[in-house]
């Protein structure tokens, strides 16, 4: 297996590849791709490519549908960088309420003052702030990062309101009992001193923070966005800041508008930029690729369904990636026939696509394989 790295990937992850995985600089020869921020949207997909692993959570730099149509499984690493992002959210919240940046700039501008120790006592009044204890924060999205933010805010003595209509039972179980879950997002905004966004960028979430939603917010609220900049309508944001509705906007995704906007604290996408996060993401990404190659298992794919194949104990394992629908599984079962010694069959679907793993003992008849290869809806078949 040839592996291409489109960005610098932590050696802690790369070193987990076995000797039969070889790094290549030629992406056109790659069977597997590791990527972080490189733009793959216009990339020609090599015919032999099996999988892409994004060492991070966001996958808006990868053409997911085109990859699926070519039978390329795309993985991401949800939760691997969650603690790093959580810590930066907390830092953003604190520098928003305490004018630390303004104070540090004052010291830098007055560093030549021989009496700075005395001067600072007069100047510091301009940089006063408020505390977060007892304040209310609305955490919108309670996944890997949002859940950690909610717990940390409880530990800091804040009142926490959580909103996530798609929260998993596992994520719900990890939340402190002090987190109040609200089913109506419109009820969250008016109650909060802070609002922290932890959502993917979808058609349904794009510009979800807009003129209408900001009009319902508590005056002087602080908005934290460490997810994606397009969740917020920049034009409406500027109006809200000028009107005093938004006291500060802290974002990890500066753009030409927000980078030049008063009332904005823009951080240069540092959320996952810790040694630990980069190591965790790389390890998780590589492990998922190896598991897919060696076992056919699919975990944390964003364009194909989950498939936990387990150890290979039979003589053959077939992995089929296919379209979802048209009774594909029934046609596949018919194609296998009664003489094929199937010991296990796993099938799962996600959206328009499906994945099926078949364990077979004994020989595979060439005519059976020919029939399977001719099934309508089959995208890619691989013998493991």
Q: Are residues 60 and 112 in the same domain?
A: no
Q: Are residues 178 and 198 in the same domain?
A: yes
Give residue-wise pLDDT tens across range 226-249.
999 999 999 999 999 999 999 999
Q: Are residues 163 and 66 in the same domain?
A: no
Contact 269, 252 (CB under 8 A): yes
Residue 132 has pLDDT above 90, yes or no: yes
| Percent of the chain residues topping a pLDDT of 70 | 100
Q: What is the number of domains present in the chain?
A: 3
Question: Where a domain ends, among 304, 326, 355?
Answer: 304
Nearest to 289 by CA among 101, 72, 27, 36: 72
Task: Taking residues 248-272, report their average pLDDT.
Answer: 96
Give residue-wise pLDDT tens across range 203-226.
999 999 999 999 999 999 999 999
pLDDT band at 176 (very low <50, low <70, confident <90, very high): very high
The CATH number of the domain holding residue 249 is 3.40.50.720
Give residue-wise pLDDT tens across range 179-205.
999 999 999 999 999 999 999 888 999
Give residue-wise pLDDT tens across range 273-310.
999 999 999 999 999 999 999 999 999 999 999 999 99
Return the number of other C-beta atoms located less than 10 Å from residue 371's C-beta: 16
Contact 123, 287 (CB under 8 A): no
Q: Are residues 196 and 226 in the same domain?
A: yes
In degrees and rounded to multiples of 5, residue 151 shows phi and psi of -65, -45
Task: Taking residues 336-363, report their average pLDDT.
Answer: 93
Q: Which residues contact 355 (CB under 8 A, 6 or more apart)?
A: 298, 304, 305, 307, 319, 320, 321, 322, 347, 348, 349
Q: Are residues 165 and 286 in the same domain?
A: no
pLDDT given for residue 326 in this prediction: 72
Q: Are residues 217 and 361 in the same domain?
A: no
**For the chain, how many residues are written?**
384
d(CA 93, CA 249): 10
Contact 58, 85 (CB under 8 A): no
Nearest to 154 by CA among 133, 130, 140, 124: 133
| Residue ranges making up the domain that contains 201 | 82-266
Contact 189, 218 (CB under 8 A): yes
The radius of gyration of the chain's CA atoms, rounded to the nearest angstrom, is: 25
Q: Are residues 259 and 370 in the same domain?
A: no
Q: Are residues 99 and 47 in the same domain?
A: no
Global confidence as pTM: 0.82
pLDDT band at 354 (very low <50, low <70, confident <90, very high): very high
Q: Are residues 150 and 174 in the same domain?
A: yes
Task: Taking residues 104-116, report their average pLDDT.
Answer: 96
The one-character DSSP state at 314 is: S
Task: Taking residues 10-20, report their average pLDDT.
Answer: 96
Give residue-wise pLDDT tens across range 21-72.
999 999 999 999 999 999 999 999 999 999 999 999 889 899 999 999 999 9
Q: Are residues 232 and 109 in the same domain?
A: yes
pLDDT band at 338 (very low <50, low <70, confident <90, very high): confident
Task: Taking residues 146-154, report their average pLDDT.
Answer: 98
The CATH number of the domain holding residue 364 is 3.30.70.260
Give residue-wise pLDDT tens across range 40-53.
999 999 999 999 99
Which residues are bridge partners to 34 per DSSP? Answer: 5, 53
Contact 285, 54 (CB under 8 A): yes
pLDDT band at 163 (very low <50, low <70, confident <90, very high): very high
Lowest mean pLDDT among 120-124, 265-269, 325-329, 330-334: 325-329
Q: Are residues 158 and 279 in the same domain?
A: no
Q: Are residues 3 and 132 in the same domain?
A: no
Nearest to 93 by CA among 262, 267, 222: 222
């Amino acid at each position: 297996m040839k592996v291409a790295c489109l960005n610098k990937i932590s050696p802690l992850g790369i070193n987990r590849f076995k000797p039969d995985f070889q790094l290549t600089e030629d992406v056109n020869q790659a069977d597997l791709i590791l990527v972080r921020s490189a733009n793959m949207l216009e990339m020609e997909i090599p015919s032999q490519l099996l999988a892409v692993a994004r060492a991070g959570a966001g996958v808006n730099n990868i053409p997911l549908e085109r990859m699926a149509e070519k039978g390329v499984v795309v993985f991401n690493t949800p939760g691997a960088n969650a603690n790093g992002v959580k810590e930066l959210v907390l830092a953003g919240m604190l520098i928003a309420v305490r004018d630390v940046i303004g104070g540090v700039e004052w010291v830098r501008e007055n560093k030549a003052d021989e009496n700075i120790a005395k001067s600072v006592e007069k100047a510091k009044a301009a940089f006063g702030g408020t505390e977060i204890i007892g304040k209310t924060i609305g955490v919108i999205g309670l996944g890997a990062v949002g859940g950690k933010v909610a717990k940390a805010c409880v530990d800091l003595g804040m009142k926490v309101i959580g909103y996530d209509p798609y929260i998993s039972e596992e994520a719900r179980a990890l939340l402190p009992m002090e987190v109040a879950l609200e089913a109506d997002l419109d009820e969250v905004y008016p109650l909060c001193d802070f609002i922290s966004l932890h959502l993917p960028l979808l058609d349904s979430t794009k510009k979800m923070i807009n003129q209408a939603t900001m009009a319902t917010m508590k005056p002087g609220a602080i908005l934290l966005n460490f997810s994606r900049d397009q969740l917020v309508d920049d034009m409406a944001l500027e109006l809200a800041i000028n009107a005093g509705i938004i006291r500060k906007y802290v974002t990890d995704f500066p753009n030409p508008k927000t980078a030049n906007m008063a009332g904005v604290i823009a951080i240069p996408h540092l959320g996952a930029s810790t040694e630990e996060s980069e190591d965790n993401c790389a390890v998780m990404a590589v492990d998922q690729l190896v598991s897919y190659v060696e076992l056919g298992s699919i975990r944390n794919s964003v364009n194909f369904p989950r498939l936990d194949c387990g150890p290979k104990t039979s003589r053959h394992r077939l992995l089929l990636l296919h379209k979802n629908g048209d009774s594909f599984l029934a046609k596949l079962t018919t194609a296998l026939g009664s003489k094929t010694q199937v010991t296990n069959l796993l099938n799962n679907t996600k959206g328009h696509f499906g994945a099926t793993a078949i364990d077979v003992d004994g020989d595979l008849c060439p005519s059976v394989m020919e029939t399977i290869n001719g099934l309508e809806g089959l995208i890619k078949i691989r013998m493991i």
